[in-house]
Amino acid sequence: MAPRTDRFGLAARLIALGVLSALLAGVAASVVLQRSLQEVVLRSVEQGLLQRAERVAAELRAAQERGRPLGGVAAGAEFETIFSGWYWQLGEDAGAPRSRSLWDGGISADPAQARPPLARARGPRGEPLWGLATALELAGEAPRTLQVWAPAAESDAEIERIRRVLLALPLGLTALLGGLAVLQARVGLAPVRRLQAALGRVRAGDAGQLGEDFGPDLAPLAREMDAVLQRNAQIVERSRHHAADLGHALKKPLALLSAAAQAPAVDAGAVQQQLHSMAALIDRHLVRSASGAGGAGRIEVAPVLDGVLALVRHLHAARALEWDVELEPGLRWAGAAGDLEEMAGNLLDNAGKWAAARVRVRCARDGERIVLTVEDDGPGLSAGQIAEAGQRGRRFDESVAGSGLGLAIVDDLAATYGGTLALEAGALGGLRCRLAL
């Protein structure tokens, strides 16, 4: 089973990652620094031993030239003081020349703690020593090994101080960076908390949109969420309109059924006709309720409009209207074909009902939008009537069949896709409808 990560908030995870990163970085830095500083200390010890080995070698050569004994050669005050911790010895045998400071004591090597080229040993009193061996050739003698020893207590103490300081480094660095991680999480996640508060206000009904006061990183997310909220609100509003449209459309057949029920003799054919009409209305609105909710791909516009035009021409064939049509080829629209058919069908059917002799249809790209213009040469509408034309169920001539819902349906669907429907007086004398998607 995968581990649960929802037990810890984003801030806690960021702080934990920050502290862990600081700890790992501190440990790595401590190890590297400790090794580097230890090498510095040991190189200093090595240089000191090399200098003294050169001095002892020079004194031994001088003593040989003067014919003096090699044992007890004075190569500095540190080699004269008994058990000073500074010793030298020429060769490995028991009678080998040695410094006066070594007296009659011996040196026991400790290979386990050696750090080449430095050797490790214990002095006559058990004190820790660092040693260095070099080859020495004296005139007329075979090469021998000159060993020089120095006290290790001071360098050991220095290395221990470095170790303790660098041991505290990861802890201090972790505490510092942990505090900075907490501050970073609080400051960095402040826009997230503001976004959460804004969502709470939207959920409580105190606001309709989130706004953009969330910084450059979260502002695009807030805009997308606002777009989703707006689209959902449009879909909900459209669903309400569907219910209202269906209720309005069912009023007439219900009234006819009520009148038929009150008649002495029920006309079964009339009742059956109204029932079929009601069923068709319900099916149509069910289809509409599933459209305009997004998720559609891009469709070719011209073939859809050609199909709708063929149907509308057939419906109004008896009027022998002139249909002036220009459709720009290659137009593609991100939406459902059924929604485009619904919008175009209502506009074209409305123009076919009111046109005297001619209907003009244009569809072309205008910038980033596709604009469908439907214009007729009918009586048109006044400015006041145009303002009322989008109201649901509003009709200006009861002699023409219809429900008064066509333009409202087109406006609803267009708004669902972020489009607009504009009504205005046309050049042909009638009404011009401009649908921009």
Taking the C-alpha atoms of residue 277 and residue 315, their distance in angstroms, rounded to an integer, is: 18
State CA 126 to chain mean position distance. Answer: 65
pLDDT of residue 393: 45
Q: What is the CATH number of domain 291-436?
A: 3.30.565.10
**pLDDT tens digits, 375-387:** 999 888 877 777 7
Taking the C-alpha atoms of residue 105 and residue 96, their distance in angstroms, rounded to an integer, is: 13
Residue % of the chain over a pLDDT of 90: 28
Domain parsing of the chain, residue ranges: 10-172, 291-436
Specify the range with the lowest mean pLDDT, choosing from 330-339, 357-366, 393-402, 410-419. Answer: 393-402
Tracing tokens 């009902």 back to the chain, one arrives at 353
Tell me the angle at which helices 153-188 and 10-66 cross, rounded to the nearest 10 degrees. Answer: 160
Q: Which residues pair with 129 in a beta bridge?
A: 121, 151
pLDDT of residue 157: 92
Taking the C-alpha atoms of residue 98 and residue 116, their distance in angstroms, rounded to an integer, is: 23
pLDDT of residue 405: 64
| Strand positions, DSSP E, 137-199 | 144-151
303 pLDDT tier (thresholds 50, 70, 90): very high
What is the pTM assigned to this prediction? 0.44
**pLDDT tens digits, 198-226:** 888 888 887 878 877 777 777 788 788 87
Find out whether 351 and 383 touch, Cβ atoms under 8 Å. no
* Rg of the chain in Å (alpha carbons): 50
197 pLDDT tier (thresholds 50, 70, 90): confident
3-state SS assignment for residue 142:
coil
Specify the range with the lowest mean pLDDT, choosing from 192-201, 344-353, 385-394. Answer: 385-394
Taking the C-alpha atoms of residue 358 and residue 100, their distance in angstroms, rounded to an integer, is: 130
